Structure 1
Amino acid sequence: MGGINPELLENFVAKLGLFAPFFYIILYIIATILLLPSTPLNVSGGLIFGFWWGLLWTAIAAVIAAMVSFAYSRFLGRKWVKKRFGIHLQRLDKEIKKGGMSYIFAIRLLPLIPYGIVNFGAGLTCVKKKDYLLGTIFGTIPGILPFVMMGAGISAMSKGDMLMITLSLGLTGLLVGAATYYQKISN
């Protein structure tokens, strides 16, 4: 995924017209299931669709991909993991039960943990589907925001506008700090 040329992807998706968002969402879901990095797709969302539409389509794609991966992992993996790692999983489940939505929310804000791994990993825990969905929605949007903004800023840079790129980099640092602080105060 890191080897995809965003300009080639932008040109290809632009040719799809009204089907472009649908194609983008399917591509995002497949990439997430294959545990490919989501950052290039988040940046591409801003580059292809602009900031607001990019944020909308990327958020929809990310949440759907997260739910598909979570369901797959929960359905196929939880029993197997519980059999093999019962005592360790019990400790993790105990922590997750205290604040499942808070954990998912905080993890989503950290751009350091691969999105797909969080999806599959959460499916192996006892986190409630509702908590997972809400934590994913509320954590994904601010988590993808700087990257979509960066993608939109790439095209703005060609016109000499550095504001979008500067804001996206500042926002990334702010989110990492906020997620770290949030995790500390919630424990």
Structure 2
Amino acid sequence: MDWFIPVDDLAEWLASFGFWAILLSLLLSAIIAILGIMPSLFLSGANAVVFGLIPGFWISLSGEVLGAGVSFWLYRRGFGNMRPVQEGSWVWLKRLNEASRKRRAVILLLARLIPLLPSGIITFAAAVSHMRFWDFILVTFIGKVPSIAMETLIGHDFIRIEENYPRLLFSLLFLVFIYILMRKR
């Protein structure tokens, strides 16, 4: 399956940095989050292979939250000066800004929990709204836990498919089940 991204090579390359691999992984996660177009599944899987499932999960989660925080700051700096943002002329932005602080956090949390919703869109919406930075970081941390856990497990099992195909199959069937449930709502 390495025809898409050479994940084994990524894991081997990452492992070659020894202790520095953790910092490199955090940096790569941040870059992936800032770009907002690449899936982090492959890096999460490589982290699980290099560092182990649990440490790999924590490294992936930390990198995602770090990257989201940097993206939030960049988006706020870059897009915060746009006329539609300053005038609040977007209906969705106006509604989000009129919501209470707690409600904005709940909206962001629910958005983070929706599978396959691009993280960059959620970060952009939060950054141009009145959401506080630390509220964003906390909610992003909580909301990313389920997706990073699945990415880490699936990515790990994908790389080590010969050893873990039953668990990978079960995980993928679980995701399909969740997707079907969400579609019916």
| TM-score, scaled relative to structure 2 | 0.81
Paired with 1:101 and 1:163, the residues of 2 have a C-alpha distance of: 37
Is this contact kept in 2: 1:59–1:140, CA < 8 A?
A: yes
**105 and 27 in structure 1: CA distance in 2 versus 1, 3 angstrom threshold:** same
- Within a 5 Å distance, the mapping from 1:172-183 to structure 2 comes to 172-173=175-176
- Within a 5 Å distance, the mapping from 1:141-156 to structure 2 comes to 141-156=145-160
Q: Which moved more, 1:168-177 or 1:5-14?
A: 168-177
Is this contact kept in 2: 1:28–1:62, CA < 8 A?
A: yes
Match of 1:90 among 91, 94, 98: 94
In the TM superposition, what is the alpha-carbon distance from 1:77 to its structure 2 partner? Answer: 1.5
Is this contact kept in 2: 1:109–1:179, CA < 8 A?
A: no
Is this contact kept in 2: 1:108–1:139, CA < 8 A?
A: yes
Is this contact kept in 2: 1:106–1:179, CA < 8 A?
A: no
- Within a 5 Å distance, the mapping from 1:49-128 to structure 2 comes to 49-80=51-82, 81-83=84-86, 85-86=88-89, 88=91, 89-95=93-99, 97=101, 99-128=103-132
Q: Which SS does the other structure have where 1:140 is aligned?
A: helix
Q: CA RMSD in A?
A: 2.8
1:18 aligns with: 19
2:171 aligns with: 168
Is this contact kept in 1: 2:53–2:152, CA < 8 A?
A: yes
Structure 2 residue runs of 5 or longer lacking an equivalent are none
Paired with 2:153 and 2:126, the residues of 1 have a C-alpha distance of: 27
> What do the CA deviations read for 1:19-42 (whole angstroms, capped 9, x no partner)?
111101101111221223233333
Paired with 1:61 and 1:179, the residues of 2 have a C-alpha distance of: 28
**180 and 139 in structure 1: CA distance in 2 versus 1, 3 angstrom threshold:** farther
Structure 1 residue runs of 5 or longer lacking an equivalent are none
Count of aligned pairs between the two proteins: 180
> What do the CA deviations read for 1:118-165 (whole angstroms, capped 9, x no partner)?
222320112222321221111101111111001221344323x33431
Q: Which moved more, 1:24-33 or 1:169-178?
A: 169-178
Q: Which moved more, 1:54-63 or 1:106-115?
A: 106-115
| TM-score, scaled relative to structure 1 | 0.80
Is this contact kept in 2: 1:109–1:175, CA < 8 A?
A: no
2:50 aligns with: 48
**110 and 168 in structure 1: CA distance in 2 versus 1, 3 angstrom threshold:** same
Paired with 2:14 and 2:66, the residues of 1 have a C-alpha distance of: 20
Paired with 1:118 and 1:162, the residues of 2 have a C-alpha distance of: 33
Give the share of equivalent positions with the same residue, in percent.
Answer: 23
Q: Which moved more, 1:90-99 or 1:113-122?
A: 90-99
Paired with 2:176 and 2:132, the residues of 1 have a C-alpha distance of: 30
1:133 aligns with: 137
2:33 aligns with: 32
Q: Which SS does the other structure have where 1:8 is aligned?
A: helix
